[in-house]
Amino acid sequence: MLCFVTLTLQAQDVWTAAGSSTIFGSNWNETDTSNDLTDKGDGIWELTKTGCILEQNVKNELKILKNHDWYIEVHPEKANYVFKVEETGIYDVTIQFNANNFEINVKTTKTGDAVIGEKTWTVAGFKAILGKNWDQTAIENDMIKQNDNVTYILTKTNLTLAIGTYKYKICANHGWAENYGDENDSEGNASVFITRDGIYDLTFTFNTDTHEVSCVPTRKADAIIEKIWSVAGNEGLFETAWDEQSTANEMTKQENNIYILEKKGINLNAQTYEYKVCSNHDWTESYGADPSGRGNAILTITEAGTYDVTFTFNQVTKEVSATAVPSVTDGISQIASDIKTKKVIFNLQGQRISAPKQGVYIINGKKVVLK
């Protein structure tokens, strides 16, 4: 008797390190196989990079990811793993990863001296404040060194800015290998907060010793800014709950600074729905219960049914309102609805009708015209 055995080979998972180009050669490149870790057994994986020029007190960042894909598994899950060296020099960097408990350890061994030349510092971030969107190569956003040799400044003038939060970072030598922002931000970005529409000068400051980042906005004049106003709120009233990014819920400008949004044929329950109007698909400027922006606006539905809802916003007074009226259906739809909901239908002579045609009828005590 012959026996056939089928062997199935399953590819082993691969763990890869990605991060600062000063360590890995490539910058945050999850596909770079030269940064794959070696399986040492018992769940321990290791990678050593040699000849790395590292600078004193400069952050070096990395993550470990599975199978060259950011979306399968990555460690640490949120913030990057960060390490520094106490002395500028050439280093061997050994990265060890424990796949059992996901711990990362880094060992640095200095192998030689190194001299770090003077760096170019550039501001990169939102296009509205810097002219280009997150462009670390934009030489027009290079900072100017001050007389103390540690302070760098960039001033952007006559910017027309709407109320909102604008993000940026300071990067070295037109690359992202070394960059600074706000460590308390989920993405490490620094922020400029604009609380009134207007024309502004922005002064960005960076200290190369402390790596402190700041931006001071100076308001120079009023500005009239055309904004996109949209409505977001509870699911049911809207397709997705509190989705300020939805273009389907943008309002249409009318006369006298009035904006409206009409949503027809919405099936609503007998309940209270909450919503707000926001500008430019962002919650920074939003209005609801009162013109100061505090609290949500409310629409109360007393009887479940299908409604046409009209949202209204006054851009000058910041007043928000919504009205809901039962949707008007054609005769065929009305008949189907009557049958489905078992409504009682009579003609004008008081006779009960099971299949009404065109005409005037009494439906649940109300006169209705079927067309």
C-alpha to C-alpha distances, 185 to 27, 97, 182, nearest whole angstrom: 21, 26, 6
* 170-180 pLDDT per residue, tens: 999 999 989 99
Mean pLDDT of 85-97: 97
Angle at 209 between CA 206 and CA 213, to 5 degrees: 25
For the cut 70, the answer to whether the pLDDT of residue 167 exceeds it is yes
* 33-58 pLDDT per residue, tens: 999 999 999 999 999 999 999 999 89
Phi, psi at 169, each rounded to 5°: -140, 160
C-alpha to C-alpha distances, 306 to 236, 268, 273, 322, 328, nearest whole angstrom: 11, 6, 15, 15, 9
Residue among 322, 368, 325 at smallest CA distance from 344: 368
Tell me the two tokens of residue 308: 């046409």
* CATH class of residue range 121-221: mainly beta
Helix, coil or strand: residue 257:
coil
For the cut 70, the answer to whether the pLDDT of residue 369 exceeds it is no
The CATH number of domain 229-326 is 2.60.40.10: yes
Instruction: Compute the mean pLDDT over every residue in the chain, rounded to the nearest whole number.
Output: 89
For the cut 60, the answer to whether the pLDDT of residue 323 exceeds it is yes
Burial label for 358, CB within 10 Å (0-12, 13-18, 19+), is exposed
The 3-class secondary structure across 63-111, one letter per residue, is EEEECCCCCCCEECCCCCEEECECCCEEEEEEEEEECCCCEEEEEEEEE
For the cut 80, the answer to whether the pLDDT of residue 346 exceeds it is no
C-alpha to C-alpha distances, 311 to 40, 71, 235, 254, 275, nearest whole angstrom: 63, 39, 16, 12, 10
Half-sphere exposure in the Cβ direction for 64 (13 Å, CA): 24
pTM of the prediction? 0.60
What pLDDT shows up at residue 96? 98
What pLDDT shows up at residue 335? 43
Burial label for 90, CB within 10 Å (0-12, 13-18, 19+), is middle
What pLDDT shows up at residue 275? 98
Domain boundaries, the chain: 15-112, 121-221, 229-326, 331-370
**Other residues' Cβ atoms within 10 Å of the Cβ of residue 62:** 22
Phi, psi at 192, each rounded to 5°: -115, 125
Q: What is the DSSP string of 168-195?
A: EEEEETTSSSSEE--TTSTT--EEEEE-
Domains 15-112 and 121-221 share a fold: yes
Q: Are 19 and 62 in contact (CB under 8 A)?
A: yes
CATH topology of domain 15-112: Immunoglobulin-like (2.60.40)
Beta bridge partners of 201: 218
